[in-house]
Structure formats: structure tokens, C-alpha cells
Chain A
């Protein structure tokens, strides 16, 4: 099989949302000692792009979108240790710390956003739900994050987004991290009011917004 065939199958595994295939193909690539960065760029990424296109066309819905994102994550989980072994930097658009803020145990929306960011080339550290403000700050510092993404479903916990930004300012860290907010009660006006750098209303626009923000 030529590299080109293999790449096409990798892309197809993402498009079909077939995790087993995606991982098996990644292992095959490692076994035959392919250039793994090329495998990602020419194999899997075109699959993610195609899925995005099918979404835009209204052909794919959330189950396909998120399953494909999870497949990409699974393939990357196979490739990453190999890349590290050979001390090749994993290509990443940026490092993101994401979570649902303290007092809020809803995380479906946040999970969708995390999956999409990860599938689209960001390194995502998901802190889960009900996350203390301090934990966000510690983790973001520890991993030297580029972005902090904050989700909230409840109007009461939405205030936590504001408090986190206040803490960043207080500690002189406001310039170090880009902050993006989202969640059902959140809108652009709220984001502007509390001084967040970005806002997204769904997982797809979150990817767009994050790409824009890290390129600023």
C-alpha cells in the first residue's frame, strides 16, 4: 500500500468515526516508520477538515462531529508517545486549559468544545466540572497554557468567570493567558462586560475563535 492510500484510509477513519481503524492505522504508520508529522498532516487532519465541511454543509450532526473528534484524539494518543520518543515536537496550535466552573456540575457543552478543540490541533487539558478558580490558575500556570476556557451553565456560576478574570488581573497574569468563555447563559455582552478575550456560542465557533485568538 502506498503512503497515499494509507493517508486516505486514515482520513476515512476519521470521517467514518471508526476509532479502531484510526488507531490501527496509526500503529501501522509507526511500524513502517513513516514520518509521523506527515501522517498527522496528510492523513488525519484532512479527515478532520472533511468532517468540518460535512458539518458546514448540514450533512453531519453532533454525533458524527464529536465521534470524529474522539477518533482524532484516539489516533493522536497512539502517535504522541512515539513523537515524544523521537523527540519530535507534536504540532499544536496552542495549549488550552478548559473546565466548568465551581458550583456547576454540567459539562456536556464543555466536553463538546474540548473535543472539537482537541481534534482541531489544540492541546487540551480538561479539568472537568465543578473546578475551583484556584485550580484553573494553578494548572494554567503549571502547563504554561495559552488559553483558559471557562464554561458555565447556571447564571449563579457564570459569576465565577468574572471572578477568575479579576484574579488574573489582580495577580498581573491578565496578559499571560487568553480567556475564552461560553455556556448557556453566556453571551458576547457578558464576555465584553467581564473583560474576557473571546466568546463562543458553540463548539464549532469555539474552534474558530480559539484559532483567531492564538494568532493574535
Chain B
């Protein structure tokens, strides 16, 4: 039997990759990079790097980067909340997670984007949990009914309460790390157990060009030491905060990621790190950062190819749209992005549900995007030889009346070879009219309602629930909140 080839998208030649990576090394060595965190500066000095203390500029040698690359695992595993399901991050494994971290939700009833509250975040977590083609959970929506300062830990709190899937998250403040780690430890039972079976990835974003802020650097150090994988989110905007050429932006992107990897490895050799990002093509007319632009996707695909070349797990923001409602643009940008990301073999793909330049989440879009992700998975599964001979046997005793519908062969393979969407329209025109001429957004909205009413929330065990609640409450109390919003605890 001939097995399927994995269809692959590769935008760069080996020669081009080498040239880009070489320039990134030179950039870090000659120009240096800003690291605004004293602990990290100390680590760099201990490693013998030249540091300009007054400007927080660190000059990183090629050797140190190469050492860090060789001690960074090429794959690592995430585990579900109950510790049973395993997700490998690395190789050509592809996992989608909802785009993060939206500040608004698209309200289906009004078609307006509004601030999200606890209930919205819970619905978001529950729907994401139910989406079979969205493997990972993300803290993709910010709740506005708690003070902004604790919005990082609060979103993780709700995700842990209501979802079985591993979580892509991150801190918004240096102090946010402790309660967030404590909650993860509460689920696992001990710090060692968390380190053995990571439950979450922490995102950390350098500030382009070539700067790691205090907050994000601290997150790298703290995560590395707690055995929590870090995901590096470099985000140059072509011609605004990074060179306008795609290759030029790649040089900066790789250099920023290199620095993040070195910090993680200096903090804890062998710490898992994902080479990721959220760069974008900068729209020179609108001054915006379109995530649905083809050039944005090209940058993503190219740096993930570089990550693979270096033997690192990869991540990108793809499979999302800049549309404001669920319209044609939302579908086409998400579809192109998800397919290209899967073809690029990106390990963690953050995007589903997201609209409006990474600022808005939509439950309906999550449901639609789940189907897009399903199509992407089907595509990369490729074409397999199922029988030998492939088809000749099926044509034995072939007559004019031969049809395939009732053949046992059909029945045994149709569910393997084909996927069946729920909200994508495949009805005849008349039947579609008889159903009320509904758009995909309307069908998805009905599906959201149905999913929420048919599936009881997947709530964590009572004992863990109480631990999580007390950690969250004590974090909230530090900022003057005496109780959590009522619906926070089931």
C-alpha cells in the first residue's frame, strides 16, 4: 500500500534560510537587543555576554544562541486537564487553538462587538472545548466584569474550570505569573507533576524592533523555571516596526525569537520553547495590521519553515480574519490562513474565532472555523492507497447499471475519505429556502445555542474547583475585589 505524502508548503530555499538566519546572528552580535529586565541582564552577564547597562542593550554571541538552540527540545508534550490525553507539540503535528486575547465578543443578536463578561468567557471556553478540530483551549477572551489588572489570571481560572483541553495563555503583569502557576499546580497536584505534564503554554511578546520588555522577559524566566513551555510572539509590522520586505522582517523576527530562546535556556536549560509570532503586513494606507493579508501569512509560513530548519516547535497567528462580522471576508481569510498554516506544518495555530485584527472573538465563528480546521486536517492527511488493486476489483462484472452507493467498499471507506460539515451549506436551493434562507452566521448561531444546551459544562472536580477559587479570590482581593462575579464558580 502506498501511504499518503504529507503535502507541504515551503516558501524559502535552504540558501535563503541560511542567509536570513546568518543575518539574525549578526544582528544580535553587532547591534544587540534591548532586554529591560534585571534578572535576564544578570543571566546574560553570567553567560559572559557584553551588556550596555545604561541602555539595557545586550550583545548575544552566535555561540550562545547555537548552544541555546541545541538545548531547546524539538518537541514536547502537553496534557489534558485530567492528564490522560497527550498532545505532541513539534514535528509536523498541527494543533489549532482559538485566537487570543480578544477584548470584545461579537454579539450574535445585535451583530455589534461589545465587551465580554464572565458568562461570555464561560460560553467561549465551553464552545472551544467542544470543537473537535480545535485541539487546544486558549484564554482567548477578556472578561470586563473584573478589574483589568487581574484579567490575565481570571481568564485562566475560567478556562481551567470549564475545559479539559490544554491552554494557551500568558501574563499581563509580572505579578500575574504566581496565581496563574498556582492554579495550574492546583489542577496537577504538585509543581513536579505540572512540570512532568504541562497543562499550559505561556505566550510572551517581544516589542518590535528588537526589545524584550520587563513583563515578557520575566514571564520567560518564570515559565522556564516552572517547566511551563513559553511561546515567543514576535510581531514586527512590515515597514512600521520591522523592515518592509518580507525577508527583512524575517531577519528581525528570527533575532527576537533567538533572544527569547536564549533567555529561557539561561533560566533553565532544556526548557521547552515554541518559536512563534504574530507579525503582520502593515497596511500603508490604513495604518492597520491585517492578519488576513496574504503577506502576513507568507511571513508566518516562512518563519515556521525556519523554525523547522532549526529543529524547534513552531506557532503562528493564522486562520483568523480582520472582518468585523461573519461575512465572506471572514471565511476567505480564515480559510486561506488555516490551510496555509496546516500545509506549513505549524504546530500551534492560533486563530479560530477571531475577527478585527485579533481584537474580537465570536462563538459563531468558532463553530464555522472548526469546520475550516477540519478541512485543513483532511487536506494534510493527504491521499492514501486503501486497496490493492486501487479500484480494479470494483469494476469486475461492470455493467451500465453499476453504481457505487451500495457497495460494501463505499460503506467501509466513505467516512475515512470524506468529512461532513455541519454549518457549511450543502443543501439544494429549494431546501435552503424551506429552511428560512439562513446565512452561515445564523446557522452557526443556532449550533452554538444547541451545543450549549445539549452539553453540560465539563467542570473540574469539586476539590480542585475550591482550590482554584481560593487562589483566584486571593489574587482579586489584592486589587480590592471582595468577591468574584457570581457566575465564575459553577
A-to-B contact residues, CB < 8 Å: 58, 61-63, 105-106, 108-109, 112, 154-156, 159, 184-185, 202-203
Assess whether A202 is in contact with B207, with CB atoms less than 8 Å apart: no
Give, as a whole number of angstroms, the nearest-CB distance from B207 to chain A.
Answer: 5
Q: Give 1 or 0 for each of B163-177: 1 = CB within 8 Å of chain A CB.
A: 000000000110000
Interface CB pairs A-B, < 8 A, 29:
A58-B285, A61-B285, A62-B240, A62-B284, A62-B285, A62-B287, A63-B239, A63-B284, A105-B207, A105-B211, A105-B213, A106-B207, A108-B237, A108-B241, A109-B287, A112-B287, A154-B172, A155-B103, A155-B142, A155-B148, A155-B151, A156-B149, A156-B151, A156-B173, A159-B148, A184-B357, A184-B359, A185-B103, A203-B287
By beta carbon, the residue of chain A nearest B211 is A105
Bound complex: CA A62 to CA B286 (Å) = 8
Give the residues in chain A near B237, CB-CB below 8 Å: 108
Assess whether B172 is in contact with A156, with CB atoms less than 8 Å apart: yes
By beta carbon, the residue of chain A nearest B172 is A156
Tell me the residues in window 204-225 of chain B with beta carbons closer than 8 Å to chain A beta carbons.
Answer: 207, 211, 213
Which 6 residue pairs of A and B lie closest in terms of their CB atoms, listed nearest first?
A: A61-B284, A62-B284, A155-B103, A105-B207, A61-B285, A108-B240
By beta carbon, the residue of chain A nearest B284 is A61
Give the residues in chain A near B357, CB-CB below 8 Å: 184
Bound complex: CA A108 to CA B151 (Å) = 25
Known pairs A185-B359, A202-B286, A203-B287; list 12 more (Cβ under 8 Å): A61-B284, A62-B240, A62-B284, A62-B287, A105-B211, A108-B240, A154-B172, A156-B151, A156-B172, A156-B173, A159-B148, A184-B359
By beta carbon, the residue of chain B nearest A62 is B284
Bound complex: CA A196 to CA B29 (Å) = 45
Give, as a whole number of angstroms, the nearest-CB distance from B169 to chain A.
Answer: 15
Give, as a whole number of angstroms, the nearest-CB distance from B110 to chain A.
Answer: 14
Bound complex: CA A154 to CA B171 (Å) = 13
Assess whether A156 is in contact with B148, with CB atoms less than 8 Å apart: yes
Give, as a whole number of angstroms, the nearest-CB distance from B312 to chain A.
Answer: 26
Bound complex: CA A216 to CA B357 (Å) = 35
B-to-A contact residues, CB < 8 Å: 103, 142, 148-149, 151, 172-173, 207, 211, 213, 237, 239-241, 284-287, 357, 359
Bound complex: CA A109 to CA B173 (Å) = 23
By beta carbon, the residue of chain A nearest B103 is A155
Give, as a whole number of angstroms, the nearest-CB distance from B105 to chain A.
Answer: 14
Give the residues in chain B near A156, CB-CB below 8 Å: 148-149, 151, 172-173
Bound complex: CA A10 to CA B287 (Å) = 27
By beta carbon, the residue of chain A nearest B286 is A202
Bound complex: CA A141 to CA B151 (Å) = 34
Give the residues in chain B near A108, CB-CB below 8 Å: 237, 240-241
Give the residues in chain B near A154, CB-CB below 8 Å: 172
User: Which residue among A58, A62, A154, A185 has the maximum number of chain B CB atoms within 10 Å of its CB?
Assistant: A62
Give, as a whole number of angstroms, the nearest-CB distance from A62 to chain B.
Answer: 5
Bound complex: CA A106 to CA B241 (Å) = 10
Give, as a whole number of angstroms, the nearest-CB distance from A188 to chain B.
Answer: 13
Bound complex: CA A144 to CA B284 (Å) = 34
Give, as a whole number of angstroms, the nearest-CB distance from B27 to chain A.
Answer: 20
Give the residues in chain A near B103, CB-CB below 8 Å: 155, 185
Bound complex: CA A155 to CA B115 (Å) = 11
Give the residues in chain A near B359, CB-CB below 8 Å: 184-185
Give the residues in chain A near B286, CB-CB below 8 Å: 202
Give the residues in chain B near A106, CB-CB below 8 Å: 207
Bound complex: CA A108 to CA B289 (Å) = 12
Give, as a whole number of angstroms, the nearest-CB distance from A214 to chain B.
Answer: 23
Bound complex: CA A159 to CA B284 (Å) = 28
Bound complex: CA A164 to CA B93 (Å) = 48
Bound complex: CA A169 to CA B234 (Å) = 39
Give the residues in chain A near B211, CB-CB below 8 Å: 105
Give, as a whole number of angstroms, the nearest-CB distance from A164 to chain B.
Answer: 16
Give, as a whole number of angstroms, the nearest-CB distance from B213 to chain A.
Answer: 6
Bound complex: CA A135 to CA B237 (Å) = 29
Give the residues in chain A near B148, CB-CB below 8 Å: 155-156, 159
Give the residues in chain B near A203, CB-CB below 8 Å: 287
Assess whether B287 is in contact with A202, with CB atoms less than 8 Å apart: yes
By beta carbon, the residue of chain B nearest A154 is B172
Bound complex: CA A105 to CA B241 (Å) = 12
Give, as a whole number of angstroms, the nearest-CB distance from B154 to chain A.
Answer: 13
Bound complex: CA A156 to CA B151 (Å) = 9
Give, as a whole number of angstroms, the nearest-CB distance from A161 to chain B.
Answer: 12
By beta carbon, the residue of chain B nearest A130 is B213
Give, as a whole number of angstroms, the nearest-CB distance from B429 to chain A.
Answer: 39
Bound complex: CA A105 to CA B172 (Å) = 13
User: Which residue among B149, B211, B285, B287 has the maximum number of chain A CB atoms within 10 Å of its CB?
Assistant: B287
Bound complex: CA A109 to CA B241 (Å) = 10
Give the residues in chain B near A202, CB-CB below 8 Å: 286-287
User: Which residue among A109, A184, A203 has the maximum number of chain B CB atoms within 10 Å of its CB?
Assistant: A184
Give the residues in chain B near A109, CB-CB below 8 Å: 287
Bound complex: CA A185 to CA B104 (Å) = 10
